[in-house]
Each structure stands twice: as structure tokens, then as C-alpha cells.
Amino acid sequence: MNTKQLNEKFHSKRALVGTANHCICGDCVLYTEQIMFNIELIEFLHSKGLDPRKADEVWAYLEKDEYKYYTVDFFQVYADKEESHTFSNAKITIQHNIYAEKGTPRYSCTVDVVFKI
């Protein structure tokens, strides 16, 4: 299996952000609605086998001047290398996870994204 297939399998049973099985707070619901408009980011995540709506943690940490700032984490992902990319309203970083336990994916993925509210 390649890394995309491994991520799809590993994350397949995760609950969707913004649903009762994950979290239905206003920040999570807004994230789920808004993230799907960033087509470049969605395509990149899908190319890695990741669904932005199945993140481990979604954290809205700042609201300022009609914008809401989020950090979104996938704690465990399969990857071939560290990388970072910037899209219109987001930056994604895949990095080696020094806390990964043996037998689990060795990388993590963080998305920093800003939405106009």
C-alpha cells in the first residue's frame, strides 16, 4: 500500500468534525462548512489520503477583524517526507512526529487556516 491508501484506511472510521460523534460546537461546524471552499487545500489533502473533515482536533484560537483563525491537527499520518505548502487562506505542514508510538504512523499534519466570518 502507498501512503495515500494507508491514510485512507487508518482514518476511514473517524467521525466527521461538526457531527455529534466528534464535536458540534459552533467553531467545528463553521470549520466544516468553510474548509470545503478551499479546493486547492482539499485536493492536496485528498492526494495524501486525508479528509479535512476527519481531523483529530480543530481549534479556533483567535477571532479578529471579521476573521476566525484555526489550527487543525491530524496527530498521526503516513507520509514519505516532511513538507509545507501554502494555499489561499491556509498553510499545511507535514512533519515527523517525535511522539509517535511504535507501530503507528510516524508523521503529523497541521493545517493553519483563516476564514472570514
Note if the pTM is more than 0.85.
Answer: yes
Q: Give me the chain's average pLDDT, please.
A: 95
In this predicted structure, what is the pLDDT of residue 117?
87
In this predicted structure, what is the pLDDT of residue 95?
98
- Number of separate domains in the chain: 1
The b/e string for 29-54 (b: 16+ C-beta within 10 A; e otherwise) is ebbbebbeebeebbebbeebbbbbbb
What is the distance between the alpha carbons of residues 11 and 31, in angstroms, rounded to a whole number?
A: 19
Low-confidence ranges of the chain (pLDDT < 70): none
Identify the domain containing residue 54 by its residue range.
3-116
